[in-house]
């Protein structure tokens, strides 16, 4: 048995054989259906188009019939022909003659108009050139006269009007004739009227419609004469000339059938103009239809090769699909290496690769859980350190000591010292906040006011505080000791004794979107960018300057990196510190945020 060296080659050959057999069967079936549908569609198109042509020709014949009926019934013409002898020219005659002459201009298909009167009156008009008309008495012996007279006033269509002219071999008109009968006496014959129709006009009605380039359209009258044809096919014209039996066979009532002319097969279709007994036949060479079969065959072959190409591509993709799970594992490992620990590769099979994927997912889950535990432990340690910083002073000892100093100062009349001690007591009371790490913003503002009151007592001429606080923010919840390190940094480091200008400390707060913005701005000595960076990211083991770093870390730990401190400072101009916190309405929201360890 033949052995394939690679699995990909084996799958490729198997898949091609699997697809090739159905494609061959499906292609053969599709070709058969398409050829039948094409032949049926061609037949339907021929039938529909020749019916449309029949309507056009019928419209032309109806128009000629109506015109002839109007003319033979015209009272002026009736009066003209009722006179005993030919009348002299007059206005009524001139009017009707002008009307008859204008008809051939308005109706492009009219080639001649001839009016015979039994009173020897004659009117003739031709669209192309003058013709010599046969005298009326001589014309009465012609078959055209007899056929027209036999209908006694009804229209008669004749294949040729040659008997009207002396030199008839030059003319090829279809003639509609009527006997003119008196309107007042049906037994009184007044004359004959003939209207000629140009064969070229009828041929144009056929040629304007396109079935295919080689399809010929034939128009036969009720006497099996070929009135007009679309193509100038001499072989076909010769076949139908004086071939009444062949024409009768062609005009059989079937809608479409096969017809043979000189060993050449045609797809034939016919329809009749029933009011006149005329027929229209279409003949399409079968060889042209078979050419379209070749197009269908080519399309089928191209489609089959396309399907084979798709089969080859699919087999290649299928073989590559075996290595795809391994590539996914490698990609996931690289992502894990870069720090994305939320990795999980879908297990898409139960084979060895699927088992390897499952074990990898379990390993990643265990490592991720371990990393989360370490992260939470470090976060809890930071929270403990924060609480330790906030609880460095034993509250009862502080309160008792400050109360003693306050009352002693009052007793001794030192109101200034008493006020400072009172502010210091308020500062520690708000800072300690009964052991809670949050309170309302109004408490934070009062805590800052107490702190500034103490510092202003120490440095009365160093700075002037300015307050611009939005009263609407007071009820929102925030972490405590948020602004005090910032204000402390501004008072102690921004305003130096040697400053020539008066120091100003602006504290401002307002609502912006879903956040509350607090700004601490001074006009002190300012800082360069390196100093700002060092202030925010000072090492943990540094001996000082950890206040702003602590605030910055607390903000990001609780609310996320988007709420980090913003410091804008320019040397010798001043510093602006912007604190942004989310709007927290109540303690329940704060507790939920705190329990999740912030951001």
Distance CA 139, CA 120 (A): 12
C-alpha–C-alpha distance, residues 193 and 73, integer Å: 11
> Is the separation of the CB atoms in 281 and 269 below 8 Å?
yes
Are the beta carbons of 412 and 406 closer than 8 angstroms? no
- Residue 43 is assigned to a structural domain of this protein: no
- Is residue 195 assigned to a domain? yes
Residue 88, pLDDT score: 62
Residue 137 falls inside a structural domain: yes
Q: Count of H helices and E strands in the chain?
A: 17, 17
Of 20, 13, 18, 24, the closest CA to residue 316 belongs to 13
User: What's 491's DSSP letter?
Assistant: I
Q: Which residues contact 346 (CB under 8 A, 6 or more apart)?
A: 328, 357
pLDDT of 295 higher than 90: no
**What confidence score (pLDDT) does residue 211 get?**
66
Out of 101-115, 437-451, 539-553, pick the least confident: 539-553
Residues 471 and 353 occupy one common structural domain: no
In a domain, 244, yes or no: no
Indicate if 83 and 169 belong to the same structural domain.
Answer: yes
Most confident of 141-145, 172-176, 416-420, 536-540: 141-145
Whether 502 and 383 map to the same domain: the answer is no
Residue that wins the pLDDT comparison between 491 and 364: 491
- Indicate whether 131 belongs to any domain: yes
In degrees and rounded to multiples of 5, residue 41 shows phi and psi of -65, -40
Find the angle CA(440)-CA(444)-CA(449) to the nearest 5 degrees: 140
Count other C-beta atoms under 10 Å from residue 245's C-beta. Answer: 8
Question: Is 367 found in the same domain as 474?
Answer: no
For the chain, the first-to-last Cα distance in angstroms comes to 67
Of 180, 201, 222, which marks where a domain is finished? 201
Q: CB of 173 within 8 A of CB of 161? A: yes
| 587 located within any domain | yes
CATH number at residue 493: 3.30.565.10
The answer to whether the beta carbons of residues 558 and 479 sit under 8 Å apart is yes
Q: Do residues 200 and 227 lie in contact, with contact meaning Cβ atoms separated by under 8 Å? A: no
Q: Provide the number of structural domains found in the chain.
A: 3
SS3 412: coil
396 vs 249: which has the higher pLDDT: 249
Q: Assess whether pLDDT exceeds 60 at residue 167.
A: yes
Cα–Cα distance measured from residue 527 to residue 98, given in angstroms and rounded to the nearest whole number: 112
Distance CA 68, CA 148 (A): 13
Comparing CA positions, the residue from 319, 309, 250, 308 lying closest to residue 282 is 250
3-state secondary structure of 350: coil
Q: Report residue 521's pLDDT band, with 50, 70 and 90 as the boundaries.
A: very high
Q: Indicate whether 383 and 478 sit together in one domain.
A: no
175 and 66 in a single domain? The answer is yes
- The answer to whether residue 19 scores a pLDDT higher than 60 is yes
Note whether 378 and 505 are same-domain residues.
no
254, 203 contact by CB (below 8 A)? no
Domain range spanning residue 490? 464-597
pLDDT tier at 273 (50, 70, 90 boundaries)?
confident
pLDDT of residue 76: 84
Give the SS3 label for residue 270: strand
Q: Chain-centre distance of CA 442, in angstroms?
A: 57
Assess whether 367 and 469 both reside in one domain.
no
Three-state DSSP at 150 gives helix
Question: Over 70: is that where the pLDDT of 161 sits?
Answer: yes
The percent of residues in the chain predicted with pLDDT above 70, rounded, is 76
Q: What is the dihedral of CA 582, 586, 590, 593, to 10 degrees?
A: -70
Residue 473 and residue 378 share a domain:
no
**If you write DSSP's letter for every residue of 426-480 in order, what string do you get?**
HHHHHHHGGG-SEEEHHHHHHHHHHHHHHHHHHSTTTEEEEEEE-GGGTTSEEES
Answer whether residue 5 shows pLDDT above 70: no
4 assigned to some structural domain? no
Looking up tokens 């930071």 gives 382
Range among 180-189, 431-440, 446-455 rated most confident: 180-189
Q: DSSP code of 171?
A: -
Q: Is the pLDDT of residue 599 over 60?
A: no
Cβ neighbours for 150, distance < 8 A, ≥ 6 positions apart = 156
- The pLDDT of residue 69: 92
- Other CB atoms within 10 Å distance of the CB of residue 395: 14
The count of other CB atoms within 10 Å of the CB of residue 569 is 20
Q: Identify the domain boundary among 356, 376, 392.
A: 392
Residue 193 has pLDDT above 90, yes or no: yes
More confident residue, 465 or 30: 465
User: Does any domain span residue 417?
Assistant: no
Q: CATH number, domain at 181?
A: 3.30.450.20
Shared-domain flag, residues 67 and 161: yes
Q: Which residues pair with 194 in a beta bridge?
A: 114, 177
Question: CB-side exposure of 217: number of CA atoms within 13 Å?
Answer: 25
Q: Dihedral (C-alpha) 445, 451, 452, 454: value to the nearest 10 degrees?
A: 150
Is 66 found in the same domain as 196? yes
Q: What is the mean pLDDT of the chain?
A: 78
Q: Residue 397: which pLDDT band, with cuts at 50, 70 and 90?
A: very low
Res 373 pLDDT > 90 = no
Rounded to 5 degrees, what are φ and ψ at 520?
-115, 115
392 has a pLDDT exceeding 50: no
Torsion of CA 435, 436, 438, 442, to 10 degrees: -60
pLDDT at site 180? 93
């Amino acid at each position: 048995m033949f052995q394939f060296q690679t699995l990909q080659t084996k799958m490729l050959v198997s898949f091609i054989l699997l697809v090739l057999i159905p494609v061959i069967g499906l292609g053969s079936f599709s070709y058969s259906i398409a050829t039948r549908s094409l032949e049926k569609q061609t037949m339907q198109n021929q039938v529909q188009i020749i019916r449309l042509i029949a309507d056009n020709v019928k419209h032309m014949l109806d128009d000629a019939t109506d015109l002839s009926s109007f003319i033979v019934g015209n009272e002026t013409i009736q009066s003209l022909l009722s006179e005993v002898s030919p009348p002299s020219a007059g206005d009524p005659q001139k009017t009707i003659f002008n009307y008859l002459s204008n008809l051939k201009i308005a109706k492009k298909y009219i080639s001649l108009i001839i009016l015979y009167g039994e009173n020897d009156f004659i009117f003739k008009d031709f669209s192309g050139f003058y013709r010599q008309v046969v005298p009326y008495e001589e014309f009465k012996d012609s078959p055209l006269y007899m056929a027209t007279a036999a209908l006694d006033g009804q229209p008669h269509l004749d294949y040729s009007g040659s008997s009207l002219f002396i030199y008839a071999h030059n003319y090829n008109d279809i003639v509609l004739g009527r006997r003119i009968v008196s309107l007042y006496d049906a037994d009184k014959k007044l004359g004959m009227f003939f209207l000629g129709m140009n064969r070229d006009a009828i041929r144009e009605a056929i040629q304007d419609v396109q079935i295919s380039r080689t399809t010929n359209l034939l128009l036969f009258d009720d006497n099996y004469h070929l009135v007009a044809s679309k193509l100038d096919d001499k072989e076909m014209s010769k076949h139908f000339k004086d071939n009444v039996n062949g024409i009768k066979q062609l005009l059989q009532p079937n809608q479409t059938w096969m017809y043979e002319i000189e060993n050449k097969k045609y797809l034939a279709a016919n329809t009749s103009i029933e009011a006149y007994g005329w027929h229209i036949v279409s003949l399409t060479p079968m060889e042209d239809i078979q050419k379209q079969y070749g197009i269908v065959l080519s399309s089928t072959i191209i489609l089959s090769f396309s399907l084979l190409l798709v089969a080859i591509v699919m087999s290649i993709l299928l073989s590559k699909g075996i290595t795809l799970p391994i590539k996914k594992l490698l990609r996931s490992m690289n992502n894990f290496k870069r720090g994305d620990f939320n990795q999980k590769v879908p297990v898409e099979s139960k084979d060895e690769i699927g088992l390897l994927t499952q074990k990898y997912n379990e390993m990643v889950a265990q490592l991720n859980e371990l990393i989360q535990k370490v992260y939470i432990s470090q976060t809890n340690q930071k929270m403990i350190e924060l609480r330790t910083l906030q609880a460095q002073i034993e509250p009862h000892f502080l309160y008792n000591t400050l109360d003693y100093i306050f009352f002693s100062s009052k007793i001794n009349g030192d109101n200034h010292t008493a006020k400072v001690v009172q502010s210091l007591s308020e500062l520690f009371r708000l800072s300690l906040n009964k052991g809670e790490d949050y309170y309302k913003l109004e408490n934070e503002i009062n805590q800052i006011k107490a702190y500034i009151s103490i510092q202003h007592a120490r440095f009365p001429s160093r700075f002037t505080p300015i307050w611009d606080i939005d009263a609407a923010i007071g009820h929102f919840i925030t972490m405590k000791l948020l602004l005090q390190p910032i204000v402390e940094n501004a008072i102690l480091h921004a305003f130096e004794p040697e400053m020539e200008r008066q120091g100003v400390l602006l504290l401002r707060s307002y609502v912006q979107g879903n956040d509350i913005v607090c700004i601490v701005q001074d006009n002190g000595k300012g800082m360069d960018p390196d100093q700002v960076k060092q202030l925010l990211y000072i090492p943990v083991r540094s001996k000082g300057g950890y206040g702003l770093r602590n605030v910055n870390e607390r903000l990001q730990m609780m609310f996320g990196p988007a709420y980090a401190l913003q410091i804008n400072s320019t040397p010798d101009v001043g510093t602006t510190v912007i604190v942004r916190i989310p709007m927290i309405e109540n303690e329940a929201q704060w507790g939920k945020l705190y329990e999740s360890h912030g951001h």
